[in-house]
Amino acid sequence: MSLTYKNNWREKSMQCLERYCKIWSLVLATGVMLASCEAVHESFKEDHLYARPQPPANWTGEVSVQAHEPIAWIDALQDTHLMALVEDAQRSNYDIAAISARVAQSRALVKRARADLQPSADLAVRGEQRDDERFNRETFDRNSAGADVSWEIDLWGRLQSGKKAAELNAAAEASDLLFSQQALAASVARAYFLLIETKYQTDIANRSLGVLSDIHRLVRLQYDNDLATSQDLALAESDLLTAQENLLRVKRASRSAERSLEVLLGRYPSLTLDTGSGFPDLPSLPAAGFPSELLERRPDIIASQQRILASRAGISQAKRARLPRLILDAQVGTSAKRLQNLFGSGNLAWALGSALTAPLIDGGRRGAEIKSRMATERGSVAAYGQLVLDAFLEVEEGLDEIDILAQRETLLAQVTAKTESALAVGQTLYLAGETDLIDVLSIQQRVLDAQSDLAQLQRRRLDAWVNLNLALGGHWK
């Protein structure tokens, strides 16, 4: 009896499989034909080029045409304090942590999209006991166990398009993270340079206040002896008050720069930073390469390119969602009144099935989804074009600024040297009794003003050098 049962079960199983194979063959043949039509309809999208400004053959500034060679521009500054601060910021900055979380989220979405292409299986075990009043409250026991396997066949590539979109979005997030790390390094460097400058300026402001206090004291003495007018005294007092106000302003700027740097490091702004004693030496100008190379090098531009491709994959996914869906199902299970008989002979049951569903009425939801994703693509293309223009502007401005600042620093260094030479002559004449002290102090004030301007210009040159490296897509390490 048992052998007969098994033979009948096998025969019915083979008949059922043959029936379903015929159905699936017909469905798959229809799917291939429809997918071909869909591929022809979608193919024009793949041939579109990015709508972007065409770069010139070379930059407009007077720079040598050399291929860009990425340098570790923070290391190139050879400032151990700055290196440590940048490393600390990369570990502790909250904005970087938030972007890193988005990268992790996007990678998880890629894994989910890939899982949609694979079969899924669920296992269920159930025990039941109930009383039925129709049978004098007889108690029924029923135990069951089974597995349900489901697999959506990706006939038209809808799920594949979703996977592609997820992968491209994840790549864009990773590129955003890379550019954010570079931008953070640049922000830390600029804040560090500003803090050093404010310390220079504080020292200069203190010395300037001392000089103007001496001038005010001498003018007061002259006024008391009728050797100076009230106008001279008023001007001396005005200069002294201006110097006092300037010292307060510079000290405030120094504290503000230090607090800003601490926040970039993910710390409470408590004014406890340790910085270097002076500006690092300015490295040589980086090779700018060609404008067209910039589009393949800058992480933020690459991220924008990847988002365009992701939006196009999303459009393909949305369009293919209007086509029928084929889902294959298989169930196998067993049930018995007694738990010990659950896997006994004759209790096994199985089923194979398929479902072909097609959208009928959705109130325009799928059409609206397609329009929404097409609008997203247009926005991504426009944002890419503007980003490219901004990137070209940053490089052109950076090259121009570095050139002009270098010329200005040369002139200002000469101004500083001349005023220092004049001060030395004035001090010699004063010691020989051939000039007044007030004249010497006036020259000394001009020296301090020139030194202040020079310190600011040196900081701006370092800022411009960092900005140019960032604009060229160079990495900080």
SS3 of 25-86: HHHHHHHHHHHHHHHHHHHHHHCCCCCCCCCCCCCCCCCCCCCCCCCCHHHHCCCHHHHHHH
What does the pLDDT read at residue 345? 65
Query: Which of 313, 332, 357 is where one domain is finished?
Result: 357
Query: Domain range spanning residue 149?
Result: 118-153+324-357
Place of tokens 């298989």: 330
Beta strands in 218-309 (DSSP E): none
CATH classification at residue 373:
1.20.1600.10
Instruction: Please tell me whether residues 456 and 349 are part of one structural domain.
Output: no
Instruction: Please tell me whether residues 395 and 341 are part of one structural domain.
Output: no
Report if residue 93 sits inside a domain: yes
Place of tokens 């010497």: 440
Instruction: Please tell me whether residues 183 and 275 are part of one structural domain.
Output: yes
H-only helix segments in 271-364: 291-294, 299-320
Contacts 24+ apart (CB under 8 A), 355-358: 355/325, 355/326, 355/327, 355/329, 356/27, 356/324, 356/325, 356/326, 357/324, 357/325, 357/327, 358/323, 358/324, 358/325
Q: Quick one: the chain helix, strand, coil %, rounded to 5? A: 65, 10, 20
Report if residue 209 sits inside a domain: no
Tokens of 75: 């290391």
Tokens of 343: 């896997």
Identify the CA nearest to 195 among candidates 265, 234, 250, 113: 250
Cβ–Cβ under 8 Å, residues 125 and 144: yes
Cα 281 from Cα 277, distance rounded (Å): 12
Instruction: Please tell me whether residues 333 and 448 are part of one structural domain.
Output: no
User: Please, what is the end-to-end C-alpha distance for the chain in angstroms?
Assistant: 78
Report if residue 189 sits inside a domain: yes
Report if residue 240 sits inside a domain: no
Instruction: Please tell me whether residues 420 and 381 are part of one structural domain.
Output: yes
Instruction: Please tell me whether residues 160 and 295 are part of one structural domain.
Output: yes
The count of structural domains within the chain is: 3
Instruction: Please tell me whether residues 14 and 40 are part of one structural domain.
Output: yes
pTM of the full predicted structure?
Answer: 0.81
The CA distances from residue 317 to 164, 211, 303, 310, 346, in Å, are 10, 75, 21, 10, 46
Report if residue 233 sits inside a domain: no
Instruction: Please tell me whether residues 193 and 269 are part of one structural domain.
Output: yes
What does the pLDDT read at residue 136? 55
Report if residue 477 sits inside a domain: no
Neighbouring C-beta atoms of residue 197, cutoff 10 Å:
24
Report if residue 207 sits inside a domain: no
Report if residue 288 sits inside a domain: yes
Q: What is the pLDDT along the chain (477 residues), one digit of tens a residue?
A: 444 544 554 565 555 555 555 554 554 545 444 444 444 344 334 444 455 677 777 888 655 556 666 678 889 999 999 999 999 999 999 999 999 999 999 999 999 999 999 999 888 877 666 665 555 555 556 777 778 899 999 889 999 999 999 999 999 999 999 999 999 999 999 999 999 999 999 999 999 899 889 888 988 998 899 888 898 889 889 889 999 999 999 999 999 999 999 999 999 888 778 777 789 999 888 877 788 888 888 999 999 999 999 999 999 999 999 999 999 888 887 876 666 666 666 667 778 888 888 888 888 999 999 999 999 999 999 999 999 999 999 999 999 999 999 999 999 999 999 999 998 998 888 777 788 878 888 888 888 999 999 999 999 999 999 999 999 988 888
CATH classification at residue 347:
2.20.200.10
Instruction: Please tell me whether residues 275 and 316 are part of one structural domain.
Output: yes
Tokens of 311: 């939006």
Three-state secondary structure call for residue 408: helix
Instruction: Please tell me whether residues 381 and 452 are part of one structural domain.
Output: yes
Cα 459 from Cα 450, distance rounded (Å): 14
Instruction: Please tell me whether residues 10 and 94 are part of one structural domain.
Output: no
Three-state secondary structure call for residue 190: helix
Identify the CA nearest to 318 among candidates 374, 378, 382: 374
Cα 414 from Cα 400, distance rounded (Å): 22
Tokens of 330: 């298989």
The CA distances from residue 410 to 151, 198, 201, 374, 458, in Å, are 73, 22, 20, 54, 11
Instruction: Please tell me whether residues 223 and 266 are part of one structural domain.
Output: yes
The CA distances from residue 416 to 190, 319, 450, 454, in Å, are 25, 70, 5, 8
Cα 82 from Cα 76, distance rounded (Å): 11
What does the pLDDT read at residue 33? 46
What does the pLDDT read at residue 294? 86
Cβ–Cβ under 8 Å, residues 220 and 210: no
Cβ–Cβ under 8 Å, residues 464 and 398: yes
How many residues are there in the chain?
477
What does the pLDDT read at residue 64? 52
